[in-house]
């Protein structure tokens, strides 16, 4: 038998038994840890090209709180966040990081419609540390990556920016001059919404809402009273189970709800006029929504039970409105409601004289019935 042919047969036989005796190399992967207010770990498959490990950027971009945009050619990708900016070009070994040119170990590319960047550059760009390669699992690892999420809204020619990880609010004028306006007192968890209101007294009310959570839903709300670019008063409250809206004005005055207490302010000056104990009015230890406020009455809703009540401010007497409006079967549904939003779905619509108007906005039953109640003077 020809020796060369015999050697070939031997190699083929060895190849057949090799998978049963030696485990194949693990597919490339990555693990990144963000050390922020809550430690987060992400990971998944990676790709190796010319000896360089590349990671897909969709999940990384989302976790880092960055915005990704492409130029008109579809070749240059720009990543932007709070005090963070970097850009790469498909096929290029040069990138821009925070205004400086840096060299890449491998050229960015698109695979299955997703952008891939060199793993070590990604860690560098996100201020990460401790890059290691686990040869047994073929996994590149790093920790202390940072988030750069920012929430921006322009109002009245001013740009308002909230930094997600610190909860700090900045304002930037038309000339680009930026200054810190306030510290909200808590980081932003998910998606922040802005609501601006100008008062008759010339003040600006800024309401911020952050809804987050899975299973148990939370609503973090902030209210700021602003005059001439400075914060006069501010408040915050954390709710769970409900995501309703607080009234911010009533009876010609401004309202700062802190869940357990309500501060009533003078419009124009922001001076505190009164502090109302909501737990005393509501009768339970809870955080309350104030959905309507007037000289004679107010509407309260406890976060956990979610039932709207009408309170007479002079006597302190309260009425659960579902018992006034609903029949017995509907009342039982409210009392046994254990859904994500317990309680009723009554919404205040308007007031005409001594009559308050409401609408049932129960999406579970498609009930859109309107109701009204007269206030006894």
Instruction: State the Cα–Cα distance between residues 241 and 337, nearest whole angstrom.
Output: 12
Domains annotated on the chain, with CATH: 29-145 (3.30.457.10), 189-317 (no CATH)
Residue 76 contacts residue 63 (beta carbons within 8 Å):
no
CA–CA distance from 25 to each of 16, 133, 137 (Å)? Answer: 16, 14, 8
Give the pLDDT of residue 173: 95
Give the pLDDT of residue 247: 97
Q: 265, 262, 261: which is closest to 225 by C-alpha?
A: 265
Could you tell me which residues come within 8 angstroms of residue 282 by beta carbon, excluding any fewer than 6 positions away? 288, 300, 302, 309, 311, 318
Give the pLDDT of residue 18: 40
Q: 181, 155, 179: which is closest to 167 by C-alpha?
A: 181
Give the pLDDT of residue 377: 61
Give the pLDDT of residue 300: 97
List the structure tokens of 9: 């047969």
- Provide the 8-state DSSP code for 27: P
Give the pLDDT of residue 362: 83
List the structure tokens of 352: 């005409």
Give the pLDDT of residue 288: 97
pTM (two decimals): 0.84
Residue-wise DSSP of 167-192:
TEEEEE-TTS-EEEEEE-SS---SEE
Give the pLDDT of residue 215: 67
Over the chain (377 residues), the average pLDDT of each successive run of 10 is 38 40 74 81 96 97 96 97 97 98 98 97 97 94 96 97 96 96 95 96 98 85 97 96 92 97 97 96 96 97 94 94 94 82 93 96 84 87
Residue 162 contacts residue 168 (beta carbons within 8 Å):
yes
Give the pLDDT of residue 217: 86
């Amino acid at each position: 038998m020809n020796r060369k042919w015999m050697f070939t047969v031997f190699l083929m036989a060895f190849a057949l038994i090799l998978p049963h005796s030696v485990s194949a190399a693990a597919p490339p992967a990555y693990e990144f840890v963000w050390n922020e207010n809550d430690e987060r770990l992400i990971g998944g498959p990676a790709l190796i090209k010319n000896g360089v490990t590349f990671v897909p950027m969709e999940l990384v971009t989302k976790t880092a709180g960055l915005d990704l945009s492409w130029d008109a050619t579809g070749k240059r990708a720009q990543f932007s966040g709070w005090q963070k900016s970097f850009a790469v070009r498909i096929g290029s070994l040069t990138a821009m990081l925070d205004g400086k040119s840096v060299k890449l170990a491998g050229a960015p590319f698109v695979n299955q419609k997703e952008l891939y960047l060199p793993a070590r550059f990604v860690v560098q760009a996100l201020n990460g540390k401790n890059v290691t390669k686990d040869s047994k699992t073929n996994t590149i690892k790093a920790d202390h990556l940072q988030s750069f999420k920012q929430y921006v809204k322009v109002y009245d020619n001013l740009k308002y920016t909230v930094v997600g990880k610190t909860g700090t609010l900045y304002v930037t004028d038309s000339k680009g001059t930026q200054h810190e306006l306030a510290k909200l007192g808590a980081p932003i968890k998910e998606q922040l919404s802005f609501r601006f209101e100008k008062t008759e007294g010339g003040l600006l009310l800024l309401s911020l809402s952050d809804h987050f959570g899975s299973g148990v839903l939370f609503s973090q709300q902030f209210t700021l009273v602003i005059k001439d670019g400075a914060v006069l008063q501010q408040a915050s409250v954390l709710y769970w189970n409900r995501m309703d809206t607080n009234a911010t004005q009533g009876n010609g005055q401004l309202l700062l709800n802190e869940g357990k207490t309500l501060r009533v302010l003078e419009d124009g000056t922001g001076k505190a006029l009164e502090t109302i104990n909501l737990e005393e009015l509501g009768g339970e230890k809870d955080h309350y929504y104030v959905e309507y406020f007037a000289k004679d009455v107010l509407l309260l809703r406890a976060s956990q039970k979610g039932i709207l009540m009408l309170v007479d401010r002079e006597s302190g007497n309260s009425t659960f409105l579902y018992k006034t409006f609903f029949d017995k079967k509907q009342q039982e549904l409210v009392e046994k409601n254990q859904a994500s939003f317990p309680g009723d779905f009554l919404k205040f619509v308007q007031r005409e004289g001594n009559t308050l108007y409401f609408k049932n906005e129960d999406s579970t039953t498609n009930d859109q019935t309107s109701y009204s109640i007269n206030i006894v003077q």
